[in-house]
Amino acid sequence: MMPRMAPRSVTVVGPDAAAAARGRQVLRIGVTGLARAGKTAFLSSAAANLLAPRTGLPVLSRRLAGRLVRVAIAPAGAESMPRFDFRRHLATLAADPPRWPARTEAVSLLALDLDIARPGLARALPPRRLRLEFLDYPGEWLLDLPLLGQDFRQWSEAALARLQTLAPLPARAFLDFLRALPARAGADEPLAETGHGLYRALLNRLREEGGLAMLQPGRFLMPAPGPEPPWMAFFPLQGGGGGLFRLLAARYDAYRRAVARDLVSPGFGRLDRLVVLADVLSALHAGPAAFADMADALGSIAEALRWRRSRTLRLPQLGTLRLPAWLGPGGIGRVAFAATKADHVAERQRASLAALMRAMTLLPDAAGEARAAVFAIAAVRCAEDFVWTLDGGNVAAVRGRVLGDERLTRSYPGEVPDRLPGAAFWAQPFLALPQFEPMRLPDGGAAGVPQIGLDALIGFLLDDVL
Ligand SMILES: Nc1nc2c(ncn2[C@@H]2O[C@H](COP(=O)(O)OP(=O)(O)OP(=O)(O)O)[C@@H](O)[C@H]2O)c(=O)[nH]1
Ligand SMILES: [Mg+2]
């Protein structure tokens, strides 16, 4: 028997055309978040728990009342998007001792097929056939959207002004380079390369050491797959009508065209749902500057979603861009903003964490016409709640195993504010999160992965299709 294959000349990317043809409703869910936000943990846990819904997602399972008849990882078929390596990630979490999946650098897709029996009398009909496609969408890329509305001069001004405010300055090498440039430097390739190298190294340091998120251009930190085009070699430069300025401005525009192209590409151009993850607790520890930076990043993502109100976007020098379907009408129907690693604080504090997330994303109108909600989740729960008697008083703390330590470690990082924190909050330390070990998973994770709030989040995403 001949296997049915997509014709060679057609690259099947984006929502699986073959699945749609076989009568599966395809729902594409973008999962985004900045580096270390918990995207891989989220996808691994979502898959493991959807495969074992009774134990893994009890709330969703009760709601479906036994109607979920079959869940399976969808075969990769002839698609060109790399698959999310679910088996390997789950094996890592289920190892003895458990470990965390390694950092991921590339975009990938996780597809699950669900067959859901119809309710009531319709039960006799064939089941609803649904394909969930989770796309690991780099948060850095969403942060490139605001560039579409800024020309090189405006962007350079804003980027350099931001660098000036970051003290102590790891930016010295780059800023010294800028100062040493002749006023009307010519279009000199080695200069462009050197400046680009210094700027890119700086962005990396700000992310790694400074814990900053609002770093642009995002593709300098998370490049698109494939060889790097020469127009990537630019950096912010102020004033001057010299040849170097013109060269960098031209490269910046080429970069913006690539951003606009990706927005409408079949691989990334269509999303039905969006999950935005952020490690808000770590930002509380990192201090007011890092926290404000995260709020900025979340705000600008929410702002990009507001574009759905207008169908086209007029860009200086780039002409008119027809908005991609997922930003247009009928695009993203639901957006979930989730504060991750919420097992680091006790239950009462998790409610505050969700409220804080709401304040940071300025919901309810943050997502335009899409339905939006906030959550505090732990995709891979590592710690349990526990009342700790400290200095004669009781605090709601948690305890878990820290990586490489057999004993249980107690942790109480501090009180989570339920609104944007003011000076009084920053006067008290909020402790760093210990790196907990995932809980032991019996049967290699076949019964799912312990979680908090993932149940509710997935229920929200799928509410209208279930
Ligand atoms: N306690 C706890 N820690 C978590 C949870 N999810 C993630 N972490 C921690 O956060 C780290 C980063 O999580 P990942 O899922 O790898 O984050 P990511 O967004 O995929 O990161 P990159 O691939 O580097 O962009 C993990 O190695 C864990 O230490 C969680 O639910 N609970
Ligand atoms: Mg990852």
DSSP string across 266-323: TTTS--SEEEEEE-HHHHHHH-HHHHHHHHHHHHHHHHHHHGGGSSEEEETTTEEEEP
- Given a cut of 60, whether residue 164 has pLDDT beyond it is yes
- Given a cut of 70, whether residue 330 has pLDDT beyond it is no
User: For position 123, what pLDDT does the model report?
Assistant: 85
- CA of 40 from ligand 1 middle (Å) equals 7
Ranges 19-23, 25-29, 37-41, 138-142: which has the least confidence: 19-23
User: For position 265, what pLDDT does the model report?
Assistant: 64
Q: Give me the percent of the chain exceeding a pLDDT of 90.
A: 52
What's 200-227 look like in SS3? HHHHHHHHHCCCCCCCCCHHHCCCCCCC
Residue from 434, 448, 459 nearest 371 by CA: 459
Assign domain 21-139+266-381+441-462 to a CATH class: alpha beta
Rounded to the nearest integer, the mean pLDDT of the chain is: 84
Locate the ligand 1 atom nearest the alpha carbon of residue 44 and give its number: 15
Residue from 285, 380, 328 nearest 56 by CA: 380
Confidence class of residue 68 from pLDDT cuts 50, 70 and 90?
confident
- CA of 55 from ligand 1 middle (Å) equals 22
* 8 A C-beta contact, residue 30 and residue 273: yes
* 8 A C-beta contact, residue 207 and residue 232: no
- Given a cut of 90, whether residue 23 has pLDDT beyond it is no
Give the closest residue (by CA) to ligand 1 atom 26.
100
Confidence class of residue 90 from pLDDT cuts 50, 70 and 90?
very high
CA distances from residue 263 to 136, 219, 256 in whole angstroms, order as listed: 15, 13, 11
User: What does the alpha-carbon distance between residue 398 and residue 383 come to, in Å, rounded to a whole number?
Assistant: 6
- CA of 105 from ligand 1 middle (Å) equals 13
* Between 148 and 27, residue with greater pLDDT: 27
* Between 453 and 332, residue with greater pLDDT: 453
Give the closest residue (by CA) to ligand 1 atom 30.
341
What are phi and psi for residue 16, nearest 5 degrees? -60, 105
Tell me the ligand closest to 449's alpha carbon. Answer: 1
User: What does the alpha-carbon distance between residue 19 and residue 158 come to, in Å, rounded to a whole number?
Assistant: 45
Tell me the ligand closest to 402's alpha carbon. Answer: 1
Confidence class of residue 268 from pLDDT cuts 50, 70 and 90?
low
Cβ–ligand 1 contact at 40 (below 6 Å): yes
Residue from 195, 197, 185, 199 nearest 246 by CA: 185
User: For position 224, what pLDDT does the model report?
Assistant: 80
Angle between helices 39-51 and 86-93 (to 10 degrees): 90
Locate the ligand 1 atom nearest the alpha carbon of residue 436 and give its number: 1
User: For position 315, what pLDDT does the model report?
Assistant: 45
Mean pLDDT of 238-264: 87
* Between 181 and 302, residue with greater pLDDT: 181
- Given a cut of 70, whether residue 305 has pLDDT beyond it is no
- CA of 111 from ligand 2 middle (Å) equals 17
Cβ–ligand 1 contact at 38 (below 6 Å): yes
Substitution candidate for ligand 1 out of 31, 100, 141, 276 with most atoms within 8 A of CB? 100
Ranges 94-103, 222-231, 274-283, 326-335: which has the least confidence: 326-335
Q: Give me the percent of the chain exceeding a pLDDT of 70.
A: 84
| Pair of tokens at residue 84 | 């999310």
Enter the pTM of the model: 0.84
User: For position 43, what pLDDT does the model report?
Assistant: 97
Ranges 17-21, 32-36, 342-346, 395-399: which has the least confidence: 17-21
Domain with CATH 3.40.50.300 in the chain: 21-139+266-381+441-462
Substitution candidate for ligand 1 out of 43, 84, 103 with most atoms within 8 A of CB? 103
- Given a cut of 50, whether residue 5 has pLDDT beyond it is no
User: What does the alpha-carbon distance between residue 319 and residue 148 come to, in Å, rounded to a whole number?
Assistant: 11
DSSP string across 315-354: ETTTEEEEPPGGGSTTS--EEEEEE--GGGS-HHHHHHHH
- Given a cut of 50, whether residue 223 has pLDDT beyond it is yes
Helix (H) or strand (E) holding 121: none
Confidence class of residue 226 from pLDDT cuts 50, 70 and 90?
confident
- CA of 57 from ligand 2 middle (Å) equals 22
Mean pLDDT of 332-360: 93
* 8 A C-beta contact, residue 436 and residue 421: no
Locate the ligand 1 atom nearest the alpha carbon of residue 104 and give its number: 23
- Given a cut of 70, whether residue 15 has pLDDT beyond it is no
User: What does the alpha-carbon distance between residue 5 and residue 409 come to, in Å, rounded to a whole number?
Assistant: 53
Confidence class of residue 1 from pLDDT cuts 50, 70 and 90?
very low
Cβ–ligand 1 contact at 352 (below 6 Å): no
- Given a cut of 50, whether residue 325 has pLDDT beyond it is no
User: For position 333, what pLDDT does the model report?
Assistant: 78
Residues 365-394 pLDDT 10s: 444 456 788 999 999 999 999 999 988 889
Cβ–ligand 1 contact at 379 (below 6 Å): yes
Cα–Cα–Cα angle for 412, 378, 356, nearest 5°? 70
Locate the ligand 1 atom nearest the alpha carbon of residue 35 and give its number: 25
Residue where the block lists tokens 């991921």: 104
Mean pLDDT of 91-118: 91
User: For position 464, what pLDDT does the model report?
Assistant: 84
* Between 192 and 320, residue with greater pLDDT: 192
- CA of 112 from ligand 1 middle (Å) equals 22
